[in-house]
Structure 1
Amino acid sequence: MTGPTLRDRIEHYYTHVPLLFAEAEEFGTLRLFVRRAAGAPYYGGPSHAQPAPGDGGRTVKAADLERVRARQRELGVPQAFEWLAEARPGLRATVEGTGVAVEERPLMVLDPARAPAAVPLPAGVTVRAVAADDPALAAVLAVPNLAFGGPASVPAGEIPAVRQTLRDGTKVLVAAFAPDGSPLAAGHYHPCGGATEIGGIGTHPTARRQGLGAAVTTALAAHAADRGVRTVFLAYAQESVARLYARLGFRPAGTTLLIAGQPARGQRPTAG
């Protein structure tokens, strides 16, 4: 008897990990995730939709898509929608048939038979997990913002919420630090059901091209493996990044599709 396939494990993760932070609202063939509290950390964006699970692969209805969009407008959040291409091969045509462009985010999974490759660090730089009571927490959370051209700080209400997820283990945050203790790069993962997606990798603009993003990625993968996570995957948007991940031990593992222009993981969206 065989176990779940890699596709099954990734799809299960996509279906269940948002429920750590959000409530699910059902719209026929679609499910919309609405975070429980403002400022709460969220996987995939403030409110994103995906095909409803356990429906036997029903064709997603355009009418359900419009109902979800109306709810997202009501909530004042981006119209974010994400799904695994291989699990719903006909859904792209449905979405594009409503006049919405779709983008691809290829996935890569860490080879379970290969330990994450070690990444050399610049002199004096250290990489470690960030605890809930770490005095550098606020500065660490701001690094991905800066990496993506955002503000140099995070909303005050977000910090207590992140602290809680770090305490209860639903979020793991890792950062690279300069010798003076200032954070240079950061990333996170949310473990769920023996799987996790590494995301939110960002390097401070002044610290790029030193391998710090790769070092954080490797540290996150090793941390997850030490906690018993057996399926570690990530998404990318550029081939140059894929080549880097391949050197770290990741291999192709399918494709996620999303509505063009929606916020990437780890980025704080603008008001919508």
Structure 2
Amino acid sequence: MHKDLFDRLERFYDAVPRDGAGAEEYGGLVLFVRDGAGFPFYARPRRDATEPPSLADVNAARERQRELGLPEAFEWVHETTPALLPVARSAGLSVLEAPLMVLDPAALPDPATLSDVPVRVLDPESPDFAAEVAARRAVAAVAFAAAGTARGDAGPAERDAAIMELDVAALDEERVRIADGRRISVLAATPADGALASGMAMRVGDVAEIAGVAALPAARRRGLGAAVTATLAQELRAAGTELIFLSAGSEEIARVYLRVGFRRIGTACIAEPAAVIA
């Protein structure tokens, strides 16, 4: 059963970047290079490779990423490509081993029971859509700058300072992807404080990944992350999504997702150059 599950995840991981990026092959790796502005993709193992990625493959992909001004980023599932972990570390990359979790639909709670802050799904036809997308991104930027689940000082003021105007192409892309079911975006907000938490999901067929779940540090410990995740999962299930998964940034964060019905099935590896200490 797990082999079939991991195969489905590999097909998803390979399909999502191809929707907005070109693919360049470096031995056992494929590097996704986005055409135009937007999220800079990563390199990951080729689905059709007969051998695991080598150190030479990793170095070649990194050289190309530097040439293009892209982050030197690599992602893979450890259970599918276990040989890549020691190779990545030997290349000087720091590897985050993130809990890879899949939803048990029977354990999904009602999002309204998880927090006192309402969560709403973004509507591309709403006149407030552009402002809401900008707010979602600003919440994530502030939240991920202070990763974890601990409360902090950064709140609505820092969110507002982080809001950036989106170009027409980015908004059009968001509208199209939401309208055709490839993306779902949500905000948890109050009339007084505005957006406090956000998240999104990417969908390909009957498989979807929940990502970017974030709560402003000043609004943490109020069930917002769980409510956002449950709302996304509920929407995805209603749309006919069979397999819903996510990667938790730490064991501590994984406990939030356990409350929402997610169960660990493996490890998602995310690698980048190790920090240099002066």
Match of 1:266 in 2: none
Q: Is the 8 A contact 1:20 1:170 kept in 2?
A: no
Q: Is the 8 A contact 1:173 1:187 kept in 2?
A: yes
Counterpart of 2:113, as a letter, is P
Match of 1:140 in 2: 136
TM-score (ref. length: structure 1): 0.85
Of 83, 86, 89 in structure 1, the residue corresponding to residue 82 of structure 2 is 89
CA separation in 2, counterparts of 1:69 and 1:119? 45
- Bigger drift between 92-101 and 149-158 goes to 149-158
- Bigger drift between 164-173 and 24-33 goes to 164-173
TM-score (ref. length: structure 2): 0.83
What does 1:62-211 correspond to in 2, within 5 Å? 62-120=55-113, 123=116, 125-134=117-126, 135=128, 136-149=132-145, 152-157=162-167, 158-180=170-192, 182-211=194-223
Shift of 1:254: 0.5
Q: Does 1:51 align with 2:45?
A: yes
Counterpart of 1:103, as a letter, is L
Shift of 1:121: 5.7
Shift of 1:202: 0.9
Shift of 1:31: 0.3
Match of 2:153 in 1: none
Match of 2:253 in 1: 241
Counterpart of 1:126, as a letter, is P
Match of 2:149 in 1: none
Match of 2:33 in 1: 34
Counterpart of 1:205, as a letter, is P
Shift of 1:132: 1.9
Deviations 1:37-90 (CA, angstroms, capped at 9, x unpaired): 213xx4xxx03000111224x121222211111111111111000011001111
CA separation in 2, counterparts of 1:103 and 1:181? 33
Q: Is the 8 A contact 1:176 1:216 kept in 2?
A: yes
Deviations 1:185-238 (CA, angstroms, capped at 9, x unpaired): 110001013111111011123322211111000000011111111111111122
Q: Secondary structure at the match of 1:86?
A: coil
Shift of 1:119: 4.7
Shift of 1:22: 1.5
Shift of 1:181: 7.8
CA RMSD, 1 decimal:
2.3
CA separation in 2, counterparts of 1:168 and 1:71? 33
Match of 1:221 in 2: 233
For structure 1, the 5+ residue unaligned runs are: 263-272
Q: Secondary structure at the match of 2:230?
A: helix
Change (3 A) 1:122 1:97: closer
CA separation in 2, counterparts of 1:165 and 1:184? 24
CA separation in 2, counterparts of 1:252 and 1:223? 21
CA separation in 1, counterparts of 2:13 and 2:186? 22
Shift of 1:29: 1.4
Change (3 A) 1:240 1:94: closer
* Fraction of identical pairs, as percent: 40
Q: Secondary structure at the match of 1:191?
A: strand
- Bigger drift between 153-162 and 24-33 goes to 153-162
CA separation in 2, counterparts of 1:86 and 1:213? 27
Q: Secondary structure at the match of 2:265?
A: strand
Q: Secondary structure at the match of 2:162?
A: coil
CA separation in 2, counterparts of 1:238 and 1:78? 21
CA separation in 2, counterparts of 1:59 and 1:238? 26
CA separation in 2, counterparts of 1:261 and 1:66? 11
